[in-house]
Amino acid sequence: MKANPGGYIPPQEVIGRDQLIERLWRILGRQSLLLTAERRMGKTSILRKMAAESPADMRVIFHELEHINSPLEFVQLVYDDVSAYLSQSRRTAQRVRAFLQGLKGMELGGLVKFPDILAPEWKALLTNTIDDLLDQRGHTLLFLWDEMPMMLGNIQRYHGEHLAEDLLNTLRALRQTYPDFRMVYTGSIGLHHVINSLKRAGYANAPTNDMAKVDVPPLAPQDAQDLAQRLIAGEAIQTKTPAQLAPTIAAAVDYCPYYIHHIVEELCQRVPDTPITDIVDECLMASNDPWDLRHYRDRIATYYLPDEQPFVLSLLDILATASTPLSFDALFDRLKAHIATEDSETVRDVLRLLHDDHYLTRSSDGTWQFRFALIQRWWRLERGLGT
What is the rounded distance in angstroms from the CA atom of residue 230 to the CA atom of residue 232? Answer: 5
Q: How far is the CB of 14 from another protein (least distance, A)?
A: 11
**Segment contacting another protein by CB under 8 A, of 7-15, 29-37, 294-302, 345-353:** 7-15
**CA Rg value for the chain:** 23
CA distances from 34 to 43, 69, 152, 228, 383 (A): 12, 21, 14, 29, 33
Q: Are the C-beta atoms of residues 143 and 184 closer than 8 Å to each other?
A: yes
Name which position in 241, 288, 324, 364 contacts another protein (CB under 8 A): 288
What does the longest C-alpha to C-alpha distance in the chain come to? Answer: 74
Among 13, 64, 81, 349, binds another protein (CB under 8 A): 13
Quote the CA–CA distance of 246 and 230 in Å, as a whole number: 9
Q: In angstroms, what is the minimal distance from the CB of 288 to another protein?
A: 6
Q: Which is nearer to another protein, 70 or 314 (CB)?
A: 70
Q: Rounded distance, CA 387 to CA 333, Å?
A: 23
Q: Kindly state whether residue 285 participates in binding another protein, applying the rule CB under 8 A.
A: no
CB-wise, 63 or 355, nearer to another protein? 63
Which CB, 10 or 217, lies closer to another protein?
10
Q: How far is the CB of 326 from another protein (least distance, A)?
A: 39
Task: Out of 88, 269, 324, 387, name the contact with another protein by CB under 8 A.
Answer: 269
Quick note: the x/- pattern for another protein over 223-262, rule CB under 8 A, is: ----------------------------------------
Give the whole-angstrom CA distance, residue 193 versus residue 199: 10
324 makes contact with another protein (CB under 8 A): no
Asked if 271 is part of the footprint of another protein (rule: CB under 8 A), the reply reads no
- If one asks whether residue 12 binds another protein (CB under 8 A), the answer comes out as yes
Cβ distance to another protein smaller for residue 268 or 339: 268
Q: Give the nearer residue to another protein in terms of CB position, either 14 or 28.
A: 14
Q: Is 221 in the site for another protein (CB under 8 A)?
A: no
Residue 160 binding another protein, by CB under 8 A: no
2 binds another protein (CB under 8 A): yes
* Phi, psi of 58, rounded to the nearest 5 degrees: -120, 125
Helix axes 257-269, 276-285, angle to 10 degrees: 100
**333: amino acid identity, one letter:** D
Q: Which residue lies nearer to another protein by CB, 234 or 247?
A: 234
* Segment interacting with another protein (CB under 8 A) among 1-9, 38-46, 225-233, 349-357: 1-9
Could you give the CA distance from residue 61 to residue 118 in angstroms, rounded to a whole number? Answer: 24
Residue 323 lies near another protein (rule: CB under 8 A): no
Type and span of the H or E element at 263: helix 257-269
Is the CB of 89 or the CB of 287 nearer to another protein?
287
Q: Count interface residues toward another protein (CB under 8 A).
A: 15
How remote is the C-alpha of 39 from its chain's centroid?
A: 6
CB of 165 to another protein, least distance (A): 26
Distance CA 36, CA 358 (A): 9
CB of 164 to another protein, least distance (A): 22
Distances from the Cα of 293 to the Cα of 116, 165, 375, angstroms: 39, 31, 8
Select from 3-11, 14-22, 94-102, 218-226 the region that touches another protein (CB under 8 A). 3-11
Non-local CB neighbours of 1 within 8 Å, separated by 6+ positions: 13, 230, 231, 233, 234
- CB neighbours of residue 227 within 10 Å: 24
Determine if 364 is a binding residue for another protein (CB under 8 A).
Answer: no
Interface of this chain with another protein, residues 105 to 144, rule: CB under 8 A: 111, 113
**Nearer to another protein by C-beta: 159 or 383?**
159
Cβ–Cβ contacts within 10 Å for residue 45, how many? Answer: 19
Question: In this structure, are residues 253 and 260 in contact, taking their beta carbons and an 8 Å threshold?
Answer: yes
Contacts with another protein by CB under 8 A lie at 1-2, 4, 6-10, 12-13, 111, 113, 268-269, 288
